[in-house]
Amino acid sequence: MNQSFFERPILNSPYACPPRHWELDRDGQPTNRIIETRRRSELITPVPKPQRRRRAAGQAELALAAGDGLSTTEQEYNPTPIINEIRGYVENWRNLPNANQWQVTPETARLLQHWRHHRFNKYQPFFCQIEAVETAIWLAEVASDRAAAGAKIWTHIRGANKEANPDLLRIALKLATGAGKTTVMAMLIAWQTVNAVRHPGSQKFSRAFLVITPGITIKAAPAE
């Protein structure tokens, strides 16, 4: 068997959008074939089927992942379709050449230009870190004002939150181990804080943050 995948598992730079990937079969095993596109978000690890829950009268059904064998009309368990859809919107938005087209505040535009194009002497942000922050920015500043895409995405997000925990609206950003989630958290806090100070009347931004971690890594990190 050709072991090219195991000899060269990494195809792309961590500092740019990945243009290709190794193909995997239905069992998640490499086929040793390179696909010249970015890998779509997919569920590979089997996920237990959910317990059925009674849906409240009049509650909207979530059917974006119909046929995945995981979700029911009561609960959406497969986030893959919405993730890929948001990723496409964010990519198109990222590629807009003029900052005036981004539909964000001047402060956000400056931060984006800094993270995307600044020549860092050390610790240049990874593409996945920038994309995570871009996604949060797009959802907060761009999608909320878009009649078609924004309405659909936020209807799904609010519906999923209502099913899981109606008292707390949550958005999760999933990154691989070692991708630098702490840095992403710092970037998000910087984006929110700067905008909250410059736009105190806006409901989109906050200057107060609660950081909850499962360990003491952040607490024990030495100050620079």
For 5-17, what is each residue's pLDDT tens digit?
888 899 999 999 9
Written as one string, the DSSP assignment of 25-51 is -TTS-EEEEEESSPPPP---S--PPPP
Question: pLDDT at position 19, please?
Answer: 95
Q: Which parts of the chain register pLDDT below 70?
A: 1-3, 44-77, 145-147, 216-224
Written as one string, the DSSP assignment of the chain is ---HHHH----S-TTS----EEEE-TTS-EEEEEESSPPPP---S--PPPPP-PPPTTPPP--TTTTSSS--SS-----HHHHHHHHHHHHHHHT-S-GGGS-S-HHHHHHHHHHHH---SS-PPPHHHHHHHHHHHIIIIIGGG-TTHHHHHHHHHHHHHHHH-TT---------TTS-HHHHHHHHHHHHHHHHHH-TT-SS--S------SSSHHHHSPP-
For 57-103, what is each residue's pLDDT tens digit?
544 444 444 444 445 545 555 778 888 999 999 999 999 999 999 99
Task: Name the residue ranges covered by the structural domains of the chain.
Answer: 81-220
Question: pLDDT at position 34, please?
Answer: 94
Question: pLDDT at position 122, please?
Answer: 85
Question: pLDDT at position 60, please?
Answer: 44
Pairing of strands 21-24, 30-35: antiparallel
